[in-house]
Amino acid sequence: MKEPLRVLVVDDTVIYRKIVGDVLAAMEDVEVAGVAHNGKVALARLPFLKPHLLTLDVEMPEMGGLEVLEELAGSWPDMGAIMLSSLTRRGSEMTVKALELGAFDFIPKPEGRTMEENRKAVEAALVPRVKAFARQREVRSALRRARGGAFSSPAGKPPSAGAEVRKLSKSGERAGGRSEVVAIGISTGGPNALSVLLPGMPGDLGAAVLVVQHMPPVFTQSLAQSLDAKCALRVKEASEGDVVRPNVVYIAPGGKQMKVASGGPGGRCFLRVTDDRPEKNCKPSADYLFRSVSQVYPGRATGVIMTGMGSDGTLGLRLMKRAGCPVIAQSEETCVVYGMPKEAVEAGVVDVVAPLDRLAGEIRKTVQSGRGA
């Protein structure tokens, strides 16, 4: 019989402990191991409750979510955490820090008028993330068995090495020459992965980097500020009308769509930040960005698809591929969730699959030498 996923609910608010607990209790193959009203109580209960996953409020009295994550990293490295965060600047900053510390993912605390509205919002956001965490545990367990127990990585943190670069096509030299733009689509596990990838890029990369990270409003600005402090490249949240400049990373604003357009000042390309509809329930959407890049930079851009749930990005990458652009995917071994890259690989639009620690090098090849991926 399959072992249920044991989850400890940690929140200082009775209402949210009730809502989250009810949502989890209704899930198949999930067991609510217990509840705790702050991080200190949660840590004290870990030895006998032995949960696989915590739902963890970011801000709590006595001991908050960040302190709990630091303790987990040292003493319970295989235990995962999904954060619940308020939609505030402080909440977003703390959540980005939590993701960088290895939290699997986060959901924003809803602000509905009724408890039922909040329950439905929590259910819609939490259930797919819990299922994705359960699948990740199964994948890592299978990899561990295949490697004779040698595989080990903290929950929510992909291993940074150990996998090889795989060439899936023989594209050779590209007629379009070097890439002027690198377009990245990423979701679950993204902040941690980006904090590895982007600092690996030189400050004189010679190309602009456009990033769609699935996040709500406010959070993307906090992510941009956090990454900017770590990178030689400048990192900023994109704004309407931004001229696309080399050596700058533009992160799509949460809750908006971002695309590139031609015909800006001096004939330069610029960014459009729009309120267009979601695509595949994503806003921002990687497909939306990739589609515009295929039109404005045919043969002169690199598509990158990284860790995340769902299939966002595959349709846009298909267009980039047809336009003569190389496509690179993050390897399964180093993804927190091998969803978006898997869909692109299985669709046959990926040229190279690379582990996280070698992605920057593969991207630089397309930018600096003009070689196909």
What tens digit of pLDDT does each residue of 273-312 get?
A: 999 999 999 999 999 999 999 999 999 999 999 999 999 9
How big is the chain by its Cα radius of gyration, in Å? Answer: 21
Out of 153, 187, 285, 311, pick the active-site residue. Answer: 187
| Catalytic-residue membership of 37 | no
pLDDT of residue 176 exceeding 60: no
Residue pair 75/42 in contact (Cβ under 8 Å)? The answer is no
- Burial (CB < 10 A; 0-12, 13-18, 19+), residue 75, is exposed
d(Cα 272, Cα 26) in Å, to the nearest integer?
A: 42
Taking the C-alpha atoms of residue 90 and residue 112, their distance in angstroms, rounded to an integer, is 20
Give first-to-last CA distance, the chain, whole Å.
Answer: 45
- pTM for the model stands at 0.89
Q: Which residue spans of the chain are classified as CATH 3.40.50.2300?
A: 5-146
pLDDT band (50, 70, 90) for residue 172: very low
Residue 287 catalytic?
A: no
Residues 210-231 pLDDT 10s = 999 999 988 999 999 999 999 9
Is 262 noted as a catalytic residue in this protein? no
Class of the 166-368 domain? Answer: alpha beta
Helix H or strand E encompassing 167: strand 166-167
The DSSP symbol for 325 reads -
Residues 6+ apart with CB under 8 A from 75: none
Q: Are 373 and 366 in contact (CB under 8 A)?
A: yes
Residue among 255, 195, 186 nearest 223 (CA) = 195
Return residue ranges of the chain for CATH 3.40.50.180.
166-368
- Residue range 5-146, CATH number: 3.40.50.2300
Percentage with pLDDT > 90 across the chain? 74
* Residues 169/329, Cβ–Cβ less than 8 Å: no
Query: Which of 92, 214, 311, 331 is flagged as catalytic?
Result: 214
pLDDT value of position 370 = 57
Query: Exactly one of 11, 105, 287, 312 is catalytic; which is it?
Result: 312
Q: Which of 228, 189, 187 is nearest to 209 (CA)?
A: 228
Instruction: Quickly count: other Cβ atoms within 10 Å of residue 66's Cβ.
Output: 18
